[in-house]
Amino acid sequence: MTDVPMRDIDHEIWQKELDDFVPARFIDAHIHLGNTKFDTATTEEGRARSRGREERGFGEVTMQFWQDWNAALFPGREVHGFCIPSPFVEMDMEGANQFVVDESRKDAGSIPFMLVRPGMDPHTMAEFIEKNDVAGLKPYRFYAASGDMVECGITDYLPEELIEVANEYGLIVILHMAKLRAAADPENLADLTRFNRQYPRVKWQLAHCARCFIPSFLEESIDQLAELENIWYDVSAVCESDVFDVLFSRGPRERILFGTDNLPAGVDRGKYVAFGYAWATLTETNHRFNLSHCNPSPTWVVYEELRALKRIATRYNFTQTDIENFFYGNACRLKELIGK
């Protein structure tokens, strides 16, 4: 059994604030399984991502390891996931994809996704999808062919020949958008509008509330996005209730999915905080606050996310059915739509 370092503040927040909110079962629509052995970088700088995971005890995240964490974070809950390989800039992508396929098979309610990048052979990709019953694709902006991971367009890191494969097989694409304005960027909006029309069998799951960790960009884009029937949203790692206010009041509630970005992003100790047109992870090791006036111990990012979600559920008088659909029913329906 994995030793999960729960603190008193975690137990208190779970028992007082979250135990009566999180339903008996849920699907986490954004999780990462993987192993740092698939990181093929040879320099210290290149291996910084995997070294950091190893130092925190996340060098190998199997299905059992993830479920051990779930048992501690969400006691008594039945949890399944949309399983994504942990990405590295330089990596054995084929090995990582096979690892996640094999691990996801250990839980009947979970489904595997495969990492993709520009230059992948569509025929080889299709063979892997067929052989392993893959549910979807996960591109990453740091693989952008343009070399600009900040301002790259969607097709810079997800070429259309790969979107065509996703359309052929009716897959989900979990998309972490780039550009400074994320979902509010006109090019991103134009691309998503065209993709929705041109590739009607693809379901687009926009990660992190369409990568809107602050409400401003979602306020600008949600009305246009909500008109696109193949656009879905996961709420993973977002901690601002104002973002959820926009998403649940103006977006399609039947296409919003619970997610955590575990492991390990959702179990950072701290919170994603918004300021201006920016956001960052505030942790117990990167601030200079004098916290002598209060309990200085942060809890998990995922608990902060759940606290913000509960405030919205209370504000809009969610019924128990509303809550269960958000945590479980919507993801089940998405799985059914792609035949999983």
262 located within any domain: yes
285 located within any domain: no
Between vectors from CA 274 to CA 253 and to CA 216, what angle results, nearest 5°? 55
279 located within any domain: no
56 located within any domain: yes
DSSP-derived secondary structure for 202-239: -EEEEHHHHH-SSHHHHHHHHHHHHT-TTEEEE-TT--
Asked if residues 90 and 113 have their Cβ atoms less than 8 Å apart, the reply is no
The tens digit of pLDDT for each residue in 278-315 reads 999 999 999 999 999 999 999 999 999 999 999 999 99
Measuring CA to CA, which residue among 10, 14, 75 is closest to residue 310? 14
Tokens 């959702």 locate to 266
- The domain total for the chain is 1
Residue type, 338: I
The pLDDT value given to residue 314: 98
Tokens 């339903």 locate to 23
51 located within any domain: yes
The pLDDT value given to residue 221: 98
Mean pLDDT by 10 residues, the chain (340 residues): 93 98 98 97 90 94 98 98 97 98 98 98 97 98 95 98 98 97 97 98 98 97 98 98 98 98 96 95 93 95 98 98 98 97
The pLDDT value given to residue 139: 98
223 located within any domain: yes
The pLDDT value given to residue 21: 98
The pLDDT value given to residue 46: 86
The pLDDT value given to residue 120: 97
Question: CA 183 to CA 144: how far, in whole Å?
Answer: 18
Domain with residue 176: its CATH number is 3.20.20.140
330 located within any domain: yes
The pLDDT value given to residue 153: 97
The pLDDT value given to residue 303: 98
Domain that holds residue 129: 8-268+302-337
1 located within any domain: no
The pLDDT value given to residue 170: 98
The pLDDT value given to residue 2: 85
